[in-house]
Amino acid sequence: KNQVEQSPQSLIILEGKNCTLQCNYTVSPFSNLRWYKQDTGRGPVSLTIMTFSENTKSNGRYTATLDADTKQSSLHITASQLSDSASYICVVRAEGAGSYQLTFGKGTKLSVIP
């Protein structure tokens, strides 16, 4: 069964500090992995998408890494801001012509405090 596990479940950090969120998956065959940011009561917004051949991808203060061999991804947030407080969702797509196979993680809830 395809699964996506995210850790930690929740995290509290001080403004200005860095943090790393983890995503482990068992989805196979792998197509791509996406990180979304979801503010409370809002829809998710895409941060980055990574394919099999990509190891690192940055989007401003967000840097995602992918290790397809160990089936792990991380999202690193640098110099956190109060506006980074949100849930971060890891989503993995399975390969398959004509199919729709997205597996969502439960998310990591990040709270950035002054």
Partner 1 sequence: DGGITQSPKYLFRKEGQNVTLSCEQNLNHDAMYWYRQDPGQGLRLIYYSQIVNDFQKGDIAEGYSVSREKKESFPLTVTSAQKNPTAFYLCASSINFPGELFFGEGSRLTVL
End-to-end CA distance of the chain: 41
For the chain, the residue count is: 114
- Min dist CB 98 to partner 1, Å, is 9
Beta carbon nearer to partner 1, 39 or 67? 39
Between 57 and 78, name the residue whose CB sits nearer to partner 1.
57
DSSP per residue over 69-112, as a string? TTTEEEEEE-S--GGG-EEEEEEEEEP-TT---EEE---EEEEE
Shortest Cβ distance from residue 59 to partner 1 (Å)?
14
Separation between Cα atoms, residue 107 and residue 46, nearest integer Å = 14
Binding site for partner 1 (CB under 8 A): 4, 34, 41-46, 49, 89, 93, 99-100, 102-107
The distance of closest approach from Cβ of residue 52 to partner 1 in the complex, given in angstroms and rounded to an integer, is: 16
- The nearest distance, CB 48 to partner 1, in angstroms, is 11
